[in-house]
Chains A and B, each alone.
Chain A
């Protein structure tokens, strides 16, 4: 398959993740949709890396995976802390920081 097919799949996955981030209320699912967006970016990076026969894109994809793992660690820690304080697990209800 030509590279453009992979790019189309990555665009679809990224848009689906963006829709999920905008519409879902549970912060766990918002984090999952964030993973979807990162994965769409990863697929595009690796497709372009294959296109030029250059390994830099793969290194960047591995770095993106590292950042995603860190984000999951912090995000899940925050969700557990929210749950311990008996606050609602709902991004619409958590508006204390709203100005």
Chain B
């Protein structure tokens, strides 16, 4: 049973990872990463790391991926494929295909090296099934166990992580804030509707009373008229 579950989750995780790398649209890449993270959480559960699996699903696949989806929707997901199409990258013989081939070769070499390092070790415990495990309310991997470790043995690590989160939050706000409208380095955008034009040129904007030149026409007298109209209307109501 656990073997079947392992193979299902492992195939899901590897397929999700391939999808992240291969898919052209960044939005689909984010969705593939969500599938990968959920499969990985199943693997964590098989390794008796219940709390880490829950954190993986809630924090990673939930919060962080929503952040990614927001930024992909804001920036626009098509930038990669459009940019590559404009420069003709990906055609045989161009620099893009050479880069892709080189990346694949280096990645394959890395994979072989990692597999030799991880599986070719003399440590016999890697071919075992792990340490003996007895289920219980405070045993290995439960939230109680993790919390006890975090607040006793790894207290300094815990505090450092909280400081890191604070620094990252401040940095994110500083990076993404708007610096007082259009700055000096940004070109002013030309919008034709802002041009001055004769008063009664009959545009739709004038018809609904929000023409750009209407600011000059809306004198204080008009406003007083509106106020008195509201007052008389209120008087007739009461």
List the interface of chain A (C-beta within 8 A of B).
Answer: 1-20, 22-26, 28-29, 31-33, 35-36, 39, 42-44, 46-47, 49-56, 58-59, 61-63, 65-74, 76-81, 83-86, 88-90, 93
Contact A63 B157 (CB under 8 A): yes
Contact B79 A26 (CB under 8 A): yes
Q: Which of B108, B133, B186 contacts A15 (CB 8 A)?
A: B108
Contact A25 B111 (CB under 8 A): no
Q: Given A2-B128, A16-B20, A53-B133, output 15 extra A-B contacts at Cβ < 8 Å.
A: A2-B126, A3-B127, A4-B118, A7-B119, A15-B107, A20-B20, A22-B99, A32-B20, A46-B52, A62-B55, A62-B150, A66-B164, A77-B171, A80-B176, A90-B83
Among the listed stretches B6-14, B191-199, B201-209, B227-235, which one makes contact with chain A, having 4 or more residues with CB under 8 Å of it?
B6-14
Total interface residues on B, CB under 8 Å, equals: 88
B110 lies within 8 A of chain A by Cβ = yes
B35 lies within 8 A of chain A by Cβ = no
List the interface of chain B (C-beta within 8 A of A).
Answer: 2-3, 6, 10, 13-14, 17-18, 20-21, 26, 29-30, 33, 36-37, 40, 43-44, 46-49, 51-52, 55-56, 59-60, 63-64, 67-68, 71-72, 74-75, 79-80, 83-84, 99-100, 102-104, 106-108, 110-111, 114-115, 118-119, 125-133, 140-141, 145-146, 149-150, 153-154, 157, 161, 164-165, 167-169, 171-176, 178, 185-186
> What is the predominant secondary structure among interface residues of chain A facing chain B?
helix
The CA-CA distance from A18 to B102 in the complex, in Å, is 12
Q: A18-B106, A66-B165 are in contact. Are A49 and B49 (CB under 8 A)?
A: yes
